[in-house]
Amino acid sequence: MSNISESLAGRVGILNLNGLTQREIEQKQESFFIPELELLEKKEKIEKTTTIELYEKILKGSYPQIYKTNIEHKKYYEDYITTYIERDIRQLINIQDEVKFLKFISNIAARTAGELNMSDICSSIGINNMTGEKWLSILVNTGLVYLLQPYSNNNISRIVKKPKIYFMDTGLACYLVGYLDAVTLEKSAYNGAIFETYVISQIIKSYLNNGMNPKKYLYYYRDNNGKEIDLLIIYNNKVYPIEIKKSANPEKVAIKNFNVIEKFGLEIGEGGVICMKENLLPIDRNNNYIPIELV
C-alpha cells in the first residue's frame, strides 16, 4: 500500500484476513455473534468437545496451512516466527533489536486477555516506551494482536482507560509462552486467559468475516471500583454484556457486575456467560448460560 501513489479512495476494498474460526474449519455458517436467545436457539452448534479437546484446538491455532497440510503445529509456529521476524518486519525494526523484539512478542503473548501495561512490558525487556509503542503497532497492524478498548460515554466516569490485549491466534500465543501439550496447558495458570482469548478472538473474527468493523461494536468494562465485564457488544443502540468462564457450571455470581450497564443510557439487551455448559440455559430473565459451541 505504501508504494501506491494514489489514495484509491472509493475505489478499493480492504479485507481483513485472520486465521480461521472454528466455524470456518467445520464449514458451518457464521453470523456475527449476538447473545440474543432467539438467535442462539436457531444457531447451529459447532462440534461438541471435551475440555481437553478444546485445549488441543487452542494449541493447534487457526492458521489455514496447519489444516490444509496437517503440518505439526509446533514446527509450523517455529518457522512462522522465523519468517515473520527475518522477512516480514526486518525493514521495520533494527536488526540488532530482533532478539528483544521476539522477547516483546512473547511478553505480549504471556499477557493475553490482560490489561495493557506498556511500561511494565518495556522495563522487563529493556526498551523504552516509544519503542514498545512502535513494536505494538506492528503487531496490531500485521494482525497478530487486537486491542479491545474500554467502553465509555458521558454517563459513566471513573473507568479504566487502558485497552485489553488479545492474541488473535491462540496456537501462536501458546508456542511463544512455551506450552506444548493440551494437558499441561489446561492445568496451568494460563488456562483461563487463553480460554478467554480463544472466545474473544472467535467473536472478533465473526464480525470481520461479516464485513463489520469490531472496533465499532466490541468493548470491555472496568472501573476504579474493580467492577469488570469481559465483553460488551454495542449493536443497534443496545448493550449486551458477556462474561467468559472456563467452568462447565459457573455460578450466578458471574453476572454480578451486569447492573453497571444500567447507567450507560442505552437499551439493555440480553446477556450471558459463555462457558463449557452442555446446553443453552437461563440464568435469569435477561441472561443465559451460553455453550462455547454457540460462539
Taking residues 213-226, report their average pLDDT: 94
Residue 6 lies in a domain: no
Residue 47 lies in a domain: yes
Number of domains in the chain: 1
Residue 153 lies in a domain: yes
Contacts of 178 (CB under 8 A, 6+ apart): none
Residue 13 lies in a domain: no
- pLDDT tens figures, 63-99: 999 999 888 889 999 999 998 887 778 777 776 788 8
pLDDT of residue 7: 74
Residue 89 lies in a domain: yes
Taking residues 45-60, report their average pLDDT: 95
DSSP symbols for the chain: -TT--S--TTS-------SPPHHHHTT---------HHHHHHSPP-----HHHHHHHHHH-S-HHHHHH---HHHHHHHHHHHIIIIISGGGS-GGGHHHHHHHHHHHHHTTTEE--HHHHHHHHT--HHHHHHHHHHHHHTTSEEEEPBP--TT--SB--PPEEEES-HHHHHHHHT--SHHHHHHSTTHHHHHHHHHHHHHHHHHHTTT--GGGTEEEEEBTTS-EEEEEEEETTEEEEEEE---SS--GGGGTTGGGGGGSSSEE--EEEEES-SS-EESSSSEEEEEGGG-
Q: Are 171 and 59 in contact (CB under 8 A)?
A: yes
- pLDDT tens figures, 247-280: 999 999 999 999 999 999 999 999 999 999 999 9
- Name the band, by pLDDT with cuts 50, 70 and 90, for residue 2: low
Residue 51 lies in a domain: yes
- pLDDT tens figures, 114-165: 999 999 999 999 999 999 999 999 999 989 999 999 998 877 777 888 999 9
pLDDT of residue 1: 60
Rounded Cα distance between 167 and 147, Å, is 9
CA distances from 181 to 100, 184, 207 (A): 26, 6, 30
CB atoms within 10 A of CB 247: 14
pLDDT of residue 16: 79
- pLDDT tens figures, 174-211: 999 999 999 999 999 999 999 999 999 999 999 999 99
- pLDDT tens figures, 92-127: 777 678 889 999 999 999 999 999 999 999 999 999
Residue 11 lies in a domain: no
Owning domain of residue 126 = 22-294
Q: Are 34 and 240 in contact (CB under 8 A)?
A: yes
pLDDT of residue 248: 92
pLDDT, averaged across the chain: 92
